[in-house]
Amino acid sequence: MKRKNLGQAINTAANLGVIAGIVFLAFEIQQNSELMRVQINQARADAAMVSNAQTFESAFIPEILVKIDQQEMLNAEEWIRYLSYFRSMNRNQDNVLSQHGAGMLGDNTPRSVADFACLVIGTAEQPAKAWDITKSGYSDAYIDFVEEALENCDDS
């Protein structure tokens, strides 16, 4: 009888060990999936930055930003340059918000991203138009976040 009880106890312990192993494996897979998502988003932002490096380093962007700040209309060439710049900036902010959601950035991140939205998108007609044109290229979470931030810009 003792052997039967010992065998059952060993079998039960082994089964519990298997269940604990499966739970641990599921947790590890979830963490890996989240890390991969963040890495993919980071790679996307990096690619955008690299592809637009010439725009960032050009002598054109500061002049364009001054024109936008002074609410002057951009010509067609300036508009194309600005859209490229605008996309890169928002892809980076999309990535920042994603990394915050994954617990990789501090508590002030959402406020910083909301401030960016209000200061960059909510300040003039041309950035708002650029947002409407480009927003389908960002994550749904970022679009929702920016749209809410833009609704609340005057409240801050």
Q: Over the stretch 10-69, which tens digit does the pLDDT of each residue have?
A: 888 888 888 888 888 888 877 777 777 777 667 766 766 776 676 667 788 889 989 999
First-to-last C-alpha distance (Å) of the chain: 75
Number of domains comprising the chain? 1
Q: What element of type H or E holds 78?
A: helix 76-101
Assigned token pair, 25: 């494996």
Question: Domain range holding 59?
Answer: 2-155
Q: Model pTM greater than 0.85?
A: no
